[in-house]
Amino acid sequence: MKAVAYSIKPCEKELLIKANRKRHDITLISNRLTLATASYAEGKDAVLVCSCDDVSAPILHKLKEYGVKYISTRSTGTDHIDLVEAAHLGIKVGNIPVYSAESTAEHAIALILALYRNIIPAHQKMLEHNFALDDLVGSTIRSKTIGIVGFGQTGQALAQILRGFGARLLVCDITDVSEKVAALGAEQVELKRLFKESDIISFHVPLTGQTRHMVNAETIRQMKDGVVLINVSRGAVFNSADVFAALQDEKISKIGMDVYEFEQNVFFFDHSRYPIEDQLLKAFIQHSRVLLTPHQAFLTAEALGVIAEKTIKNLNLWNSDKCVGPACCCVEACAVEPSKIAV
């Protein structure tokens, strides 16, 4: 099978080459998939993309013209792909349904600990040779109530970690996961109760019609004063303007984000020589009570290895005229609405 892989990072290249074992003719390019770069897919059977690529309807039509039959995204989320249009065009879509839940869960923990123990301001003081303890008083996770929104693989991995910290855990999920939750000493509750009682809320949901702007001015009012929010899922789960306003009012005390609502064309790229035009993003970056990382929660050697292997597995199955099974994101094959496809 002939394929072109877009948005390839140096840390992925050798892993994909190794996983491929020369079975497929894959062109690896660092270019992001856009209308301007879609022509690289001409004559290819498949394209391999990531979450920063644009796989909207106009680009899907171009890919179809160039003969592309398959799209495999090197991510769990598929919100960057117009699945309905892909199905209409007869292009099969696959993802990486599970790769390393621990990677993302551990990053959430890193954000929580850094915020709760004031690691960033402490480091800044050290750089200035200021060893005073002023303004560095933190809090323990033990005995705090932590809400986990979304109890897929990542939410479960986070719950397992937090169990060791002695936190009280509340879980909200659209399905009945009460048995799994109970086994971890947690409790499944409605979202309003989770918002009301949680000191820290961590989000682990796909971006769907139901989860877009799940955190907004109205839902923030339901939360505890001084709540800490963690988002390692998708940026648009937060209404960014509402969240920043609540941060300014100190309704939200601190925020840890690995994603940002308007990160497209910004995250994954070096802008050190070019000014960031998004004023809200700049405000988040510069805020002393915000810890923002550039969509790196997945970025571990273990996760990258699994992603490479499963990406090639998708190509192997398609090359044998087989469905990719759990990795199938084709709307018709999933027999569910695109908004229900799990991450």
Query: Which residues have C-beta within 8 Å of that of residue 267, sequence separation ≥ 6?
Result: 52, 259, 260, 294, 295
pLDDT tens per residue, range 237-268 = 999 999 999 999 999 999 999 999 999 888 98
Are 211 and 286 part of one and the same domain? yes
Are 203 and 180 part of one and the same domain? yes
Pull the structure tokens for residue 91.
Answer: 């292009």
How many domains are there within the chain? Answer: 2
Q: Cα separations (Å) of 11 from 8, 16, 40, 95, 307?
A: 8, 10, 22, 19, 12
Average pLDDT score over the chain: 94
Residue 330: CA count within 13 A, CB half-sphere: 18
263 is known as an active-site residue: yes
Our measurement of the distance from residue 34's CA atom to the centroid of its chain's CA atoms, rounded to an integer in Å, reads 21
23 is known as an active-site residue: no
Is the torsion defined by CA of 247, 251, 257, 261 positive or negative?
A: negative
233, 150 contact by CB (below 8 A): yes
What is the length of the chain? Answer: 343
Are 278 and 331 part of one and the same domain? no
Are 90 and 224 part of one and the same domain? no
Are 54 and 157 part of one and the same domain? no
Pull the structure tokens for residue 301.
Answer: 């050697």
pLDDT at residue 343 is higher than 90: no
The whole-number pLDDT of residue 265 equals: 85
Are 231 and 329 part of one and the same domain? no
338, 83 contact by CB (below 8 A): yes
Are 188 and 127 part of one and the same domain? yes
In the chain, which residue ranges form alpha helices assigned H by DSSP? 10-20, 57-65, 83-89, 101-116, 119-127, 153-165, 178-183, 191-197, 217-221, 240-248, 279-286, 301-319, 331-334
188, 173 contact by CB (below 8 A): yes
Are 94 and 123 part of one and the same domain? no
The whole-number pLDDT of residue 334 equals: 53
**Inter-axis angle of helices 101-116 and 153-165, to 10 degrees?**
40
Are 241 and 214 part of one and the same domain? yes
Return the amino acid letter for 251.
K
pLDDT tens per residue, range 186-198 = 999 999 999 999 9
Are 182 and 326 part of one and the same domain? no
Looking at the DSSP bridge assignments, the partners of residue 227 are 252
Phi/psi of residue 194, nearest 5 degrees: -60, -45
Average pLDDT rounded to a whole number, residues 16-40: 97
pLDDT at residue 274 is higher than 60: yes
What pTM was estimated for this model as a whole?
0.90
Q: Which of 12, 106, 234, 261 is catalytic?
A: 234
- What CATH number should be reported for the domain holding residue 139? 3.40.50.720
Are 127 and 234 part of one and the same domain? yes
Query: Which residues have C-beta within 8 Å of that of residue 186, sequence separation ≥ 6?
Result: 148, 159, 163, 169, 170, 171
Residue 269's pLDDT band (boundaries 50, 70, 90)? confident
The whole-number pLDDT of residue 331 equals: 78
The C-alpha angle with vertex 213 and arms to 210 and 215, in degrees rounded to 5, equals 110
CB atoms within 10 A of CB 21: 8
Average pLDDT rounded to a whole number, residues 137-144: 95
74 is known as an active-site residue: no
Average pLDDT rounded to a whole number, residues 141-160: 96
The whole-number pLDDT of residue 209 equals: 92
Average pLDDT rounded to a whole number, residues 22-48: 97
Q: Which of 263, 277, 302, 332 is catalytic?
A: 263
What is residue 238's DSSP assignment? B
The whole-number pLDDT of residue 339 equals: 38
Pull the structure tokens for residue 252.
Answer: 């939200």
Are 242 and 161 part of one and the same domain? yes
Q: Note down the domain range covering 63.
A: 2-99+301-340
Q: Which of 32, 74, 80, 295 is catalytic?
A: 295
Return the amino acid letter for 18.
K
Query: Which residues have C-beta within 8 Å of that of residue 321, sequence separation ≥ 6?
Result: none
Average pLDDT rounded to a whole number, residues 176-185: 95
pLDDT at residue 156 is higher than 70: yes
